């Protein structure tokens, strides 16, 4: 018959070491999963804003667009309506001729830490050359407006979305059809996946 009165100091230290080891192993896994989910949510929010602009253009029979601006480490976005029938133009937006349809909002209000950003070296989702980390993530020409016409066409280009770490995502807009497609970069294969 043994006398079991409790745990010894050695037992407690072994259990504490095991818990610390398991915690150290699980934190990067959980952190990586959170980065991935936040990036996916942020890309879907931005994609839904583009889809909303497309729908509003068809519904109103006027050009509607999303103005996207990277301000520091954040992305702000707002929908605008062509107010005078000559297309959505930055000069008309600045003059108040093309009015806002939605209030100004930031992407990271929906998904913390996510912005228009290229956080790693990638290949161009449009089939072009390599793009280095930190390059311009807004690839729609020399404008900050991505416009959808009432005839179904749009400004074509690619928006690159990411957190500081984690996966790189892209939103491709096809000009002739106005279709929006969400892609994820596979860093090991160096390919974009649907």
- Confidence at residue 164, expressed as pLDDT on a 0 to 100 scale: 86
Question: Which domains does the chain show, CATH number per domain?
Answer: 9-193 (3.55.40.10)
| Digit-coded pLDDT (tens) for 124-168 | 998 878 999 999 999 988 888 999 999 989 999 999 999 988 899
SS3 for the chain is CCCCCCCCHHHHHHHHHHHHHHHHHHHHHHHHHHHHHHHHHHHHHHHHHHHHHHHHHHHHCCCEEEEEEEECCEEEEEEEECCCCCCCCHHHHHHCCCCECCCCEEHHHCCCCCEECCCCCEECCCCCCEECCCCCCEECCCCCEEEECCCCCECCEEEEEECCCCCEEEEEECCCCCCEEEEEEECCCCEEEC
| Digit-coded pLDDT (tens) for 51-70 | 999 999 999 999 999 999 99
């Amino acid at each position: 018959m043994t006398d079991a009165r409790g745990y010894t100091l050695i037992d407690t230290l072994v259990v504490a070491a095991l818990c610390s080891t398991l915690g150290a192993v699980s934190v990067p896994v959980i952190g990586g999963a959170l980065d991935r989910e936040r990036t996916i949510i942020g890309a879907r929010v931005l994609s839904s804003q583009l889809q909303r602009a497309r729908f509003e253009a068809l519904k109103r029979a006027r050009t509607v667009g999303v103005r996207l601006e990277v301000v520091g480490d954040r992305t702000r976005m707002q929908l605008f309506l062509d107010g005078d029938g000559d297309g959505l133009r930055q000069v008309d937006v600045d003059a108040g001729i093309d009015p806002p349809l939605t209030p100004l909002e930031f992407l990271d209000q929906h998904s913390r830490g996510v912005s228009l950003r290229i956080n790693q070296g990638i290949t161009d989702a449009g089939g072009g050359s390599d793009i280095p980390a930190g390059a311009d993530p807004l690839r729609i020409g020399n404008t900050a407006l991505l416009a959808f016409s009432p005839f179904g066409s749009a400004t074509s280009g690619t928006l690159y979305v990411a957190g500081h770490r984690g996966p790189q995502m892209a939103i491709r807009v096809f000009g002739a059809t106005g279709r929006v497609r969400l892609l994820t970069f596979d860093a090991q294969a160096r390919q974009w996946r649907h």
